Amino acid sequence: MKTVYDFTVKDRQGNDVSLAEYQGKVLLIVNTATGCGFTPHYEPLEAMYKEMKDKGFEILDFPCNQFANQAPGSDDEIHEFCTVKFGTEFPQFKKVDVNGETADPLFAFLATEKPFVSFGKGLKGLALKKFSDMNNKTFGDKAYIGWNFTKFLVDREGKVIARFEPTVDMKEVRAAVAAELAK
C-alpha cells in the first residue's frame, strides 16, 4: 500500500527531499498562497506547530499559484513573506502545481486518498465553490484541490486520514491533529 513516504519533493532550493524523512510523525500537508483571503491561516498553523512539534508533528507547506494567481512570488520571496509576517518556522517547499497535467504527484495522491467533498454550506463555502468551479474548469478530471490552504492530515504510518478544506475552522483542524498525536 502506497503512503506519503513513497514520495520525493523539492525543497525551496530545488533539492530532493524524501518524505520518508518524516516517518513516524503526524503530518499536516498544506498548499498555500501569500495573497489569499485564507493567508491568515499561517498564524494558527504556526501556533499549532510551535505547540506540537516536540510531540512528533510537522507541517509541510507547499506554495501554489494555481488559484487566481495568489502566490506570484519566487520561492525566496514567499518564504520571506511568511517568516516576516507570520514568523513561520515549519518546512516550506518549492512552489508546486496541485492541479492539472503538471500537478505534483504528492497532491494527486493526497486528493485521491481523500477526495474533495464540499466547502460547506455557509456563505463562505458557497462563494468559494463558485470561484473554485470557475478556476478548476481548465483542469478537468485533474482538479484535485479546490483552493489554497487545503490541508491533509497524515498519521504516523504515512496514511492520509483527513482532508480539511480552507473553509474548515482551524480549531477543528487543531483538534484533529491533537487527537492523532495522542494515539
Residues with active-site annotation? 36
What span, in angstroms and rounded, lies between the C-alpha atoms of 51 and 16? 28
* DSSP 8-state code for residue 92: B
Nearest CA among 105, 102, 83 for reference residue 92: 83
What's the DSSP call for residue 11?
Answer: B
Q: What is the DSSP letter of 167?
A: T
42-52 and 75-86 helices cross at what angle (nearest 10)?
Answer: 70
Neighbour count for residue 149 (Cβ, 10 Å): 26
Give the dihedral sign, CA 141/36/32/94.
Answer: positive
Across 86-115, b (16+ Cβ under 10 Å) vs e yields bebebbbbbbbbbbeeebbebbbbbbebbe
